[in-house]
Structure 1
Amino acid sequence: MKNVLKSSEPEELQNYKKRYSTQFRRWNNLKQSRDTLTSIRSTLISDQKGLCAYCEMSIYQKPFSVEHFFPCEQSTREENHDLNWQNMLAICIPPGGVEDDSLPNAQLPHSSPCCGKAKDNFIPDGRLLNPLQLPTQRLFRFSSADGEILPDESGCERSGIPIEYAQFTIHKLGLNVDRLKSRRLAVIDEIIKELDSRDDGINDRTLLDKQVASEYFDNRKDNYPRFFTTIRWVLDEGAEKHLLEISYSG
């Protein structure tokens, strides 16, 4: 999970709320306005550079859902979470980025839910990290043995985020279900092989890591590769130097 830098509220959403300013409109009401919904969805994908806000699977070419970090069920006339732009994220469906050829196995997401399915209607109480409120520093590390995601103790400490909050977020969102771990492990192995193939007696491995990071994290690209934070962890100091150079903010 990484920081999501959110753009301004889409004009279509602003106009929708003005149009119904005297009414208590819910998300299901808004979905009937196709132009407004399309604008919200396209802006979310652009803001998140094509990644699920929770697991970082690619979603720009796949079905995805609009997630409300604070559940719509908690909405009131005074505080309408349904239409709050700062409460909206794009997340993967099926949960955890089940590949198309896996869809017939309908029990998979239900037996091991993650992302929005795992979070369900949980009411955030401060322990669940919000992608819109994360620092740009990396808060998670990964196991090169099985792709497991873990809190990065030093990153959490530098950011002032309790390690137990990072661990709670991993658990609550089901970010260590087997299908996510196996996909992250494949990405880790792929990058390590790429680095080894290019390492022709180079003295400074960080320079090589930085070069590869510049290819993965190119600001000119519309979308980031899946598992941004995993790639960032593998490329370590080289990735951090590159992200600093391009003024990465989310």
Structure 2
Amino acid sequence: MKKVSKGIEPALLKGYRTAKSTNTWEQFTDKKGRRNETQDQIKADQGGLCAYCEIDLLPSSGNDEADFRVEHFHPKSDQTTVHNWHLDWQNLLGCCHGGSQKNVVDAGKRFTSPDHSCDVPKGDKNLDDVILNPLYLPAFPRLFSCERATGHLTVDSDNCDQANVSVAKAQNTIDELNLDAERLKRLRRAVLNDLNDQIRARVAQGMSIGDVRENFAKAILRKNASGHWPKFFTSIRGYLGNEAEKHLRNNHYSG
């Protein structure tokens, strides 16, 4: 999980929320224009990545549905307060389907039911005080690491301590959202193994490991022409080490 920096609330959502403050998310998204504007802003804010697992949020293709849906971090079904969580801009995140949809694009790799992740195991549970919210993560230091050989996601305890973030809460984030699902480990492992092969090839040509990592950090850890970060950004960031941190700081990375 990486930090998400929210942009300005979409105009159609703000206008609707102001005029119909007690309406539901389903009523709001009944109109395609409102729905699309809000979804597009969410995707842009997140750089095209799932707010939880960091897989790329693929658009629909042919008869296959997009690997994207809007998630309410605090359950919209909560009626214990008068606050309308349905239409709270700060409560809306973009997520993948977490392996749950057989008609999703790239289903051969992404449909792994019942091995679900992200908002699927979370469901309607109120985990506000249990897991980390990507809106409130620090940009620095990085809180999670990935083991290249296994794709296993771990908590960087030292960095959590440095950022004054609960190690237990960070681990709960992995556990509650099942961010170490076999599907995600397999996909992260493939990304890091491919990167490792490229790095070894450059070193074999005579480049120093530091220079190679610096070059890859500059080439990969940036948004593409569509404004999207590379999938599994945090795993790549951790694998490239200090060179990645230097590059991100130099480019004023903020989420």
TM norm. shorter chain > 0.5: yes
Matched, 1:209 2:213: yes
In structure 2, relative to structure 1, the CA distance for the partners of 1:57 and 1:220 (3 Å cut) is: closer
Structure 1 gap ranges (5+): none
8 Å contact from structure 1 (residues 57, 96) kept in 2:
no
- What is the letter of the counterpart of residue 243 of structure 1? L
Deviation at 1:79, TM superposition (A): 0.5
Alignment-derived partner of residue 13 in structure 1 = 13
- What is the letter of the counterpart of residue 165 of structure 1? K
Deviation at 1:37, TM superposition (A): 1.1
Which one of the candidate residues 165, 168, 179 is aligned to 2:183? 179
- What is the letter of the counterpart of residue 247 of structure 1? H
Which one of the candidate residues 222, 226, 230 is aligned to 1:225? 230
Deviation at 1:123, TM superposition (A): 0.2
Deviation at 1:88, TM superposition (A): 0.3
Distance 2:174 2:168 in 1: 10
Matched, 1:124 2:127: yes
Percent identical among aligned pairs is 33
In structure 2, relative to structure 1, the CA distance for the partners of 1:158 and 1:138 (3 Å cut) is: same
Which one of the candidate residues 74, 78, 81 is aligned to 2:78? 74
Alignment-derived partner of residue 36 in structure 2 = 38
Secondary structure, in 3 states, of the residue corresponding to 1:89?
strand
- The TM-score normalised by the length of structure 2 is 0.89
- Could you give the per-residue CA deviations for residues 95-144 of structure 1, whole angstroms, max 9, x where no partner exists? 389762428x97x32x2211010111110242210011100121011112
Distance 1:220 1:193 in 2: 22
Superposition pairs of residues 133-148 of structure 1, within 5 angstroms = 133-136=136-139, 137-148=141-152
Distance 1:76 1:19 in 2: 23
Distance 2:95 2:150 in 1: 24
Alignment-derived partner of residue 152 in structure 1 = 156
Alignment-derived partner of residue 112 in structure 1 = 115
Q: CA RMSD in A?
A: 2.0
- Could you give the per-residue CA deviations for residues 205-238 of structure 1, whole angstroms, max 9, x where no partner exists? 2232121111112246411111000100111111
Deviation at 1:94, TM superposition (A): 4.8
- What is the letter of the counterpart of residue 85 of structure 1? W
Matched, 1:51 2:54: no
- Could you give the per-residue CA deviations for residues 173-199 of structure 1, whole angstroms, max 9, x where no partner exists? 001111110110011111111111111
Matched, 1:3 2:10: no
Distance 1:26 1:158 in 2: 40
8 Å contact from structure 1 (residues 219, 246) kept in 2:
no
Distance 2:93 2:241 in 1: 27
8 Å contact from structure 2 (residues 98, 117) kept in 1:
no
Structure 2 gap ranges (5+): 60-65
8 Å contact from structure 2 (residues 47, 223) kept in 1:
no
Alignment-derived partner of residue 86 in structure 1 = 90
